[in-house]
Amino acid sequence: MQVDVNATSGPLSPGRILAVLRRDGPMTRHELQARVGLSRATMVERLDALSRLKLLRTAGRQASSGGRPAELLTADEAGRCALVADIGVSHLAVAVADLTATVLAVRREKVPARQEPAAVLERVLAIGAELLAETGRAEDFCVLAAGIPGQVDPTSGANTAPPSMPGWSGTAVHDAIAARVRVPVVVENDANALAFGEHLADGAPATTMLGVKVGTGIGSGVVINGRPYRGVTGSVGEIGHIKLAGHEERCACGRTGCLAAVASGRALLRLLRPSGVRTLADVVRQVDQGRQEAITAVTEAGRQLGGVLATVVSIVNPQHLRLGGPIGTLPRFADAVRTAVLDQAHPVALLGLREITPARLGDQAPLIGLAGLAADAVFDPSTVDAQLAADTA
């Protein structure tokens, strides 16, 4: 959370005090008071209010050479938790995570083809309730974040789902969840969540990260200087339906020659059907077993994706390019992507690109990214202040 303490005139609101503690804490009351410039009485009152919301905790005492050591205060990220759901075309992962973005429990299952949102979201909430009970964290549950394929408009929150997920567009996802839970709901593009999770895994505050998810479809997400960049309509990174010259393969979107029709998991399923492949797990298994048809198909898919990513790398100029999803994390696929990007991207952009690798967090990357975004939503100063106002009304 980037909060400019100097940007406000007048005293800092409780939400902004908490943001200072979250960014720079733990610190003593005295240090905090010096930082935010409030009278002792006002400060005590604001900290009490934040404690009532269970957003503040003590973190031990400051080392001291004499006298009673002062208590340290910090934002209570570990004390509250989120349900996060990474929803794909064919798979679903639900997790309980605390607001330090640590996953406490996770469960995965298949989603039947073309399942309606209501049925999938019902499963998310049922699994979520079980995981909260198993982890003993039901009382700490304070936010739900869902990652879905397709664009999510940053202003309206409405999303545009891929054609293989009919009924998932508009505000259906957000509204269906919000109707069933009493906590804030965050909906995010799954590749943005992946990129943000990889950014958090690195622990560096201001990296620029390109995250690419290759599962049934293809999507990418961009984190610029540590923050997700979504663009005007939320379509940043939607590379799956870029038309490739010289290709006429039919795509799930109804057009022909899209990158997704050539290099996605769905394209590999079609190509490898004669070899007995029926699922993405079959593709992974055949590559691991050294089956030549599968290796050739996966390598060519990686090469095609790398050609498009060379352009993206030249424009975004990231430090890291991480590949997620069951196909993206295949080392052979990542190797082919790397070769094509190094061959085709602008040389100066490549100077800053430290690596092209499978996601560090593997299949947990989107879940951890969603937990981080959920935490940012909970600790957003205006949300905290609104909650306090409602609490005292």
Residues found near Zn ion in the complex (CB under 5 A): 241, 251, 253, 255, 258
Separation CA 103–CA 83 (nearest Å): 10
Q: How far is the CB of 265 from Zn ion (least distance, A)?
A: 14
Cβ 215 to Zn ion, closest distance in Å?
Answer: 15
Q: Select 40 or 255, whichever has its Cβ closest to Zn ion.
A: 255
Q: Residue 149 and residue 120: Cα distance in Å, rounded?
A: 14
Comparison of 228 and 240: residue with beta carbon closer to Zn ion: 240
**Which CB sits closer to Zn ion, 110 or 255?**
255
- Among residues 240 and 358, whose Cβ is nearest to Zn ion? 240
For 198-339, list the strands marked E by DSSP.
209-214, 218-224, 227-228, 320-324
Q: Which residues, 6 or more positions from 169, have their beta carbon under 8 angstroms from its beta carbon?
A: 150, 158, 159, 160, 161
CB of 55 to Zn ion, least distance (A): 44
CA–CA distance, 141 with 146 (Å, rounded to integer): 15
Supply the minimum distance, in Å, between the C-beta of residue 231 and Zn ion.
19
Cα-based distances in Å from 276 to 49, 279, 281, 285: 62, 9, 12, 11
Nearer to Zn ion, 95 or 258 (CB): 258
- Nearest to residue 324, comparing CAs of 161, 144, 196? 196
CB nearer Zn ion, residue 114 or residue 255? 255
CB of residue 13 vs Zn ion: minimum separation in angstroms? 46
**SS3 of 25, please?**
coil
Tell me the C-alpha to C-alpha distance, in Å, between residue 176 and each of 38, 111, 118, 168, 231.
42, 17, 7, 10, 25
* Shortest distance in whole angstroms from residue 239 CB to Zn ion: 11
Burial of 172 (0-12, 13-18, 19+ CB in 10 A): middle
